[in-house]
Structure 1
Amino acid sequence: MVEAWTAAQIREAERPHLEAGEPLMRRAADGLADVVRDVLRASSSSRDGRAGRILLLVGSGNNGGDALYAGESLARELVPQGGAVTVVPVGSRVHEAALAAALAAGAVLDDVEAWCDAAVVAGVLPAYDVLLDGLVGTGSNGAGLRGDSLRVVRAVLPVVAGATWGVGAEAAAASASASASGTGRDAGTSPAGGSAADGDAIGPAPRVIAVDVPSGIGVDDGALPDPPHVLPADVTVTFGGHKVGLVVGPGAERAGRIVLIDIGIGPDLARMPPAVTTT
């Protein structure tokens, strides 16, 4: 049996802990980083011994901060081993302290414009092992992404999902063309200055890990926008309690395996009737 709560209920459960100064974001980020490590370990045989590469798609909200603090922890481990953590800031702002921490740990900031081009993305995204979707969090109502978030998701979808999830033919064709021609930021160049000619094999699509919820689903009802521009997650790492949109409606189909991270609000949620209970 799975109990799930609305975004408003989650926020109400978090409120006294935030007012008390508890580090909920750090707890969430630590749990997220642990899941990324597990995914990297599971895929280590396909990387020929090289260190992992992580791409962070970071929006303006708290989920972006969660992703950045997780990126800080991962960068401290991966970058000295020759791995990489690349941050793509999407939106009008990002969590400044978390971004500073990630960059100080060795993460690299990349230009969002390049990640809005489907042909470029098709050439460079397969060099990554894990993509963290931290674009939009529990404020999403399923009405659809906007601005750069939408542009990035439209460019990334053909690589991570393909026609199975209703990607437009034009974007899929751009992806196929770029894959065939080896198109990158420059020919043979991978993100953040790496070169595919330096012995860094281009592999299959990265595993997608959604931060709290897949960006763009209706958090309270599992609704999808039309067209359904949502990155399908292999794993969704959600914090504190299950959100309704992860267990009902078409949004649940985009969530993949759900991992619940305890950030200390469980007793507060237990005092609230869940919005949905599923088996």
Structure 2
Amino acid sequence: MAPTVPTFTAAQVRAAEAPLLAAGVPLMRRAAAALAEVIAEQSPERVLVLAGPGDNGGDALFAAADIAARGVPVDILRTSDRVHTEALQAAMDAGARSIRLDELDPSAYDVIVDGILGIGAHGALRGQGRDAVTALLSASAVVIAVDLPSGLDADTGAADDAVLAAATTVTFGAVKAGLARGEGPRLSGRIVLVDIGLTLDPADAVGQATVTERRAG
């Protein structure tokens, strides 16, 4: 039977991350390593990584570096002019290719990694992120969401029609409340919870969610 775990708000997760980040714990590298393993399990032939400006984009890009280093063709579509520069360089050094939206062929990929937005985002996708998602809504690729599907509210589960429905959501540290509320269950697919070392008190949980799998990060 799939385990049931407590869910937490974005603010609670950020508060739990803060002391670890202050101590220099490599949370992004832990998250990216676990994400890369989930991607690799799909035995992909070609991967598209959607990379936004925040930590989820960094997670996706470091995972892209891992996947590209395994010899899998990886294309990176940046949905913001600002991305995690170290992670992007690692991906490019490993052989990933950067593409523009006007070069995007949705039929070219069997795996899409959604790292556009994270738990700090509110409201619908906008700008380049929305344009990219709209272009990919009819794609047949397996979608893997980084922490949560971009455009899904981390607390309420609210979402509009410009969200890529994930086959798998790889979420880090704790299950975000929005994955189990509103549109969350429909858009998140199976949930893989990765332990990256956060300490959260179950007594402070705001709900419960069923996860498909738990892993160490």
**d(CA) in 2 for partners of 1:114 and 1:138?**
29
Q: CA deviation at 1:224?
A: 1.2
**d(CA) in 1 for partners of 2:14 and 2:203?**
12
Given candidates 62, 65, 76, the residue that maps to 1:72 is 65
- Does 1:277 find its partner at 2:205? no
- Does 1:56 find its partner at 2:36? no
Change in 2 beyond 3 A, CA 1:136/1:278: closer
- Runs of 4+ in structure 1 deviating by more than 4 angstroms, as ranges, are none
For 2:214, the equivalent position in structure 1 comes to: none
**d(CA) in 2 for partners of 1:140 and 1:219?**
8
| More strand per residue | 2
Q: CA deviation at 1:91?
A: 1.2
**d(CA) in 1 for partners of 2:209 and 2:115?**
26
- Does 1:210 find its partner at 2:145? yes
For 2:76, the equivalent position in structure 1 comes to: 87
Count of residues paired in the alignment: 207
Identical aligned residues as a percent: 45
- Say which one has the larger Rg: 1
For 1:140, the equivalent position in structure 2 comes to: 121
Report the more deviating stretch, 124-133 or 101-110.
124-133
Alignment of 1:103-142 (within 5 A): 103-115=92-104, 124-141=105-122
Q: CA deviation at 1:278?
A: 4.5
Alignment of 1:90-101 (within 5 A): 90-101=79-90
Letter in 2 for 1:211: V
TM-score for the superposition, normalised by structure 2: 0.91
Q: What runs of 5+ residues in structure 2 fail to find an aligned partner?
A: 211-217
Given candidates 121, 134, 151, the residue that maps to 2:131 is 151
**d(CA) in 1 for partners of 2:57 and 2:200?**
23
Q: CA deviation at 1:277?
A: 2.4
| More helix per residue | 1
